[in-house]
Every structure is written in C-alpha cells, then in structure tokens.
A = this chain, B = another copy of it.
C-alpha cells in the first residue's frame, strides 16, 4: 500500500440493496483504491434483483444491527424466520442494538420483547453489557452472575453462540484468570517507545478496570466460554460494535480463516484483532493530526460501567484547538468528528490480512463456580 492518501470523495447516486449499480458500483471500487467515500443516496431502490423471499434464499449469512422501531423490526424478524425455514444452514448474526450502560435504552421500548423472541432464530448474538442484562434480566456483578446470565440466554432460547463484546472488570480478576496479553502483531503497531497513554492488559493497579470480551458456546448441554482481555484504549469511536459484529460474521465457519480454536472463539479472536488494530491506528492518527500526542498525559484508568467510553484521547476542546485556532470556525466540529471516524478504508490491509487472532483462554467454569475467584 502506498503512503499517498487519495482523499475524500463525495458520491451522490442511487442505492440498490443488491447488485452493483449507482453508488454500489462506485463505492467499493473507490474504497479498494483507498478513497474515503461519503455516500449520499438519491434514490433508495428497495431492490434490484427482486429482494422478495424468493430472492433472499441464497444468502448464506445474515447480519442485523440498529433497527430502532418495533414495526420495522417485526418485518425483519418475519423475513429472517422465512429465510431460516428455507435454509436452516443460514448463519444469522444478531446484534441486539438497544443501548449501553452510559446512555441507557436508545430504541423504542417495544423493540425489547421482539429481540427476546428473535433470540430463537439467531446463530450468534453480539450484545454489550447493557443488552446482556436487558435480555437475560440478570445484573452482572460477578463471574457467578455472568455465568447465570449466559447460561440463561443459551438455554431459554436454544441460542448456540454469544459474543459478549465487552465488560469492564477489575484488573485483579483478569490477573487471576491469567488472560493472555495482546499479540505481537498488535504491539508492533504501537510507537516505540510505548507511549504513556497506552496501558496494556493488567498493567494498572489491581482495582483499576480493563475490558474483557467473552465468546460463549452451548453444545450438548455444556457451556464453553472463552475470555479475551483488551488493552485500555477506550476512546469513543462510533461503529466499533458494528465492525466487531461484521467481523465475527465474516470469520465464523469461514474455510479461509481456520485455526485450532472452536468456531466462535476463533471468529471472536479474529474479529478482536481487526477491531483493536483499527482502533489503535485510528487513535494514533487522531493524535498525530492534532499534534498533541507529545502532551497527551496518562489519565486515571478507573472506569465505572457508566464510564466505559471515557477516554485517554484528546478532549473536544483540545481537538478543536488543534483543528483551528479560530474558535468561531464552523468547520471545527466537523473536522473534530472526522478525527474519530474508524479508519477502515485506510487500514483495509489489516482487515484483509486478518492475522493470527487475539489470544484468549477457555474459562474453567467449574473451578470458578466452586472456588470463586
């Protein structure tokens, strides 16, 4: 890949759901060549090849995300049920986007029971902590309650796979679980020497928190759960969860993406590597653009669940100041927001490469439940 950054394109054309005309014929090829394409869809064709039930049967995988209204979600659920009936091998990844610990619910509350019902048709769900608690009705404050919540989601709904994207846990717990550190391919993306704002897994005080991701599979009456510890770069970057779900879908049961791990931990491991690498590169880019990387001071890493998006990245005011010294410059906000956009196009090499995956570890549930932690 070249050092040249081709820049940002605005493309105003039609959108089709399926096939490659209009913006669909332009966007991916431009992105493949490194262009960051902003897409305005003039006409939203509901389909190009007849996206009826008939046309849908050949999808081998389905991914659903943010559907804020109950009526629309009902239609989506009905369609997917039909597709699963016609092809039981379809892999359906359901991201039950409903809210987070900081904000609370950000969809209509009528959506919640529909998602609960949809758990029965999902192959994999990718909830965050708020969504696990909402779907299971169990508040997670220990490994025991985590076990209960996961088990209930699996057994009540015949749900084979849960990719619990992240929950903040005390470093002391992560140390006891003996979760592996970030992989070398990720560490190589860090500046040398490793900057003070970076905190690898478990390097803080025992009472500090770090994020942990869980990949849980129910099979033959047995629950196997893998845990993955994540380093503390928790800047608020939109779309991280969406990218994670898509990458879990991409690497699940993919013959091109094999390893010795079982299917779900493998997919989660690969997804986490991609997401963490892109997050780190986006963070580094943001710091470089604002030219305040030198002055970025380490901040306390105490996170309450309500603050899991708190950040060691520059504040809005710091970013604004870096973008323009004129406080009335209307472009400041737009430019600041752009510094936080995930660099998926620029870092497409990291997506295509995939790497060895993020290291994790299967939990010894019996030991944890019998002896505690």
Q: Does A50 contact B (CB under 8 A)?
A: yes
A35-43, A168-176, A294-302 - interface stretch: A35-43
Docked pose: A5 CA to B68 CA in angstroms: 33
Q: Does A306 contact B (CB under 8 A)?
A: no
- Would A4 and B255 count as touching, CB distance under 8 A? yes
A39 contacts across to B, CB distance below 8 A: 15, 17, 24
Closest-by-CB residue of B relative to A246 is: B26
Contact of A40 among B14, B17, B21, B348 (CB under 8 A): B17
A58-66, A180-188, A201-209, A225-233 - interface stretch: A58-66
Docked pose: A61 CA to B33 CA in angstroms: 14
- Would A250 and B13 count as touching, CB distance under 8 A? no
- Would B54 and A10 count as touching, CB distance under 8 A? no
A44 contacts across to B, CB distance below 8 A: 41, 44
Q: Does A149 contact B (CB under 8 A)?
A: no
- Would B338 and A9 count as touching, CB distance under 8 A? no
As a 0/1 sequence over residues 310 to 339 of chain A, the CB contacts with chain B under 8 angstroms (1 = contact) are: 000000000000000000001101110110
- Looking at the assembled complex, report how far the CB atom of A76 sits from the nearest CB atom of chain B, in whole angstroms: 6
- Would B13 and A66 count as touching, CB distance under 8 A? yes
- Would B242 and A13 count as touching, CB distance under 8 A? yes
Within 8 A of B (CB), among A231-265: 238-240, 242-243, 245-247, 249-250, 254-256
- Would B60 and A7 count as touching, CB distance under 8 A? yes
Contact of A12 among B14, B67, B338 (CB under 8 A): B67
- Looking at the assembled complex, report how far the CB atom of A258 sits from the nearest CB atom of chain B, in whole angstroms: 10
Given A24-B239, A246-B26, A351-B32, A42 and B56 contact (CB-CB distance below 8 Å) = no
- Looking at the assembled complex, report how far the CB atom of A257 sits from the nearest CB atom of chain B, in whole angstroms: 8
- Would A29 and B61 count as touching, CB distance under 8 A? no
- Would B352 and A250 count as touching, CB distance under 8 A? no
